[in-house]
Chain A
Amino acid sequence: MDCKYIQNNLVQYTENELSVDKIDGIKEHLDSCKECSDLFREISLTYDILGDKEEIEPKAFFAESVLSKMLREEELQLTESSVFDNLFSKYFKEIAYSALTFIVLLTIVFYLSEGTFIFSSLSDSDFLTSDNISSLFFE
């Protein structure tokens, strides 16, 4: 077993997850190699801390602070939705009238420009003769 193999299996060795043969081989190597045995020592000391994490206590009045935070969030949601409702009801009629007026104006402009376009293209192409005009309407 070389140093690389040992170092790749130190955690498994610490956790006793290896076969008896491998454990014996690693033990033998660690007894004769200072670099690996120092590494093993540090890693096992560090690894031993796992699960020893200190417990912390909740802050004073934790439950009350959760309830008041929840209440604040609910109030904020209510305020936001009522502000939106107010704005919507206040400006709804004006927005609706403006939109309707805009659509009507847009339709008029569109039809006017279409008519101008038809007549201008007819006159440009010398088709605006009395015969052509009558054929346009009476054909």
Chain B
Amino acid sequence: MPKEEIEIISGILNNDKEAFKRFIEQHQKFVINVCYKFVNNADDANDIAQEVFIEVFRTINKFRNESKISTWLYRISVNRSINFLRDNKKYRETERYSVDPGIISNFSSDSDNTADAGYINKERKLILDKAIDSLPEKQKTVFILNKNEALSSKEISEVLGLSVKSVESLIARAKTNLQKILIEYYK
């Protein structure tokens, strides 16, 4: 761990708010974007990230220097985001995704050459986000960490406290399920 980071951590341990502010500024973008990949909403991601940093401050004494800060931040961010999604299940399903059902039938072989390509791509993103969101919780978590955060199975296993084998199996099941969901959409 870099010397500056060690100083910041020991500052936070001594209840130094200035050190904590520096810590937030260093990691805020990372934490917010991890949360965003789970909740798909910028305002919610900012709110969850606030909770993440408050938890960091309150539990910094549990942080072990031998593990990476990013692993620790990933763990708290993922847990907070999943809890948020659990608590807001209804809102999640009704508000966040409103894919235009007609757009799916408009996907044609030459659609990308039209002026609507941007719109169609946006809809594709929505379909993909919705499909990932409908995966079982653990599959969804490992899939996002693997595909969106580009973490290896080993890194995911450290973040989630699972074995590498379990992570690999969850990724494989997530892919199979995602394929089924996407085929249902496009068929």
Contacts and interface: CB of A to CB of B under 8 A. Distances in A.
B54 A69 contact: yes
Given A11-B179, A12-B175, A58-B28, A42 B107 contact: yes
Given A58-B46, A58-B49, A46 B127 contact: yes
Contacts of A12: 175
Majority SS at the chain A contact face: helix
Majority SS at the chain B contact face: helix
Interface size class of B (residues with CB under 8 A): 35 or more
Interface size class of A (residues with CB under 8 A): 20 to 34
A8 interface: yes
Interface string A26-56: 0000000000001101110111011101011
A49 B33 contact: no
Given A39-B186, A57-B29, A10 B179 contact: yes
A55 B148 CA distance: 11
B167 interface: no
Given A43-B182, A69-B54, A70-B54, A59 B46 contact: yes
A15 B147 CA distance: 12
23 contacts: A7-B183, A8-B179, A10-B183, A38-B186, A39-B183, A39-B186, A41-B109, A42-B186, A43-B179, A49-B121, A49-B124, A49-B125, A49-B128, A50-B128, A50-B148, A53-B37, A55-B33, A56-B45, A58-B49, A62-B32, A63-B24, A63-B25, A66-B53
Interface of A: 7-8, 10-12, 15, 38-39, 41-43, 45-47, 49-51, 53, 55-59, 62-67, 69-70, 73
Interface of B: 17, 20-21, 24-25, 28-29, 32-33, 36-37, 42, 45-46, 49-50, 53-54, 57, 107, 109, 112, 121, 124-125, 127-128, 147-148, 150, 175-176, 178-179, 182-183, 186-187
